[in-house]
Amino acid sequence: MTNSESEAAVAETMFNLYKAKMSLSQLVERAAAGEEIVIAKAGKPMAKLVPLSQQKPARQPGGWTGAVAISDDFDAPLSDELLDAFEGAGP
């Protein structure tokens, strides 16, 4: 794809903010169907409307299993010295 073809493809899917507000429902349908819609303000691209399936996958619990160790006393009360440091009392 040449640079001019690439610019034309972007131009077909770029909508100014006013037009996007007027046709948001249709733009959401197009994005849900797989199209990427760029929303611009004063000709400057500001946001992209993409299908939800292209978003980051949901996090799965247990991804750090075996990589992180938590001490048995991680929730023990802080020493007075450390507590003072957190509260800005300092020495």
Distance from C-alpha of 84 to C-alpha of 3, rounded to nearest angstrom: 61
> Which tens digit of pLDDT belongs to each residue from 44-82?
999 999 888 666 778 889 888 899 888 999 999 989 999
Q: Is the distance from CB of 86 to CB of 78 less than 8 angstroms? A: yes
Q: pTM, whole model, 2 decimals? A: 0.47
Residue 8 has what pLDDT? 43
Residue 1 has what pLDDT? 47
Domains parsed from the chain with CATH numbers? 3-54 (3.40.1620)
Mean pLDDT of 18-44: 93
Here the tokens at position 88 are: 């800005």
Mean pLDDT of 22-39: 93
Phi-psi region for residue 43, left (φ > 0), alpha (ψ -120 to 50) or beta?
A: left
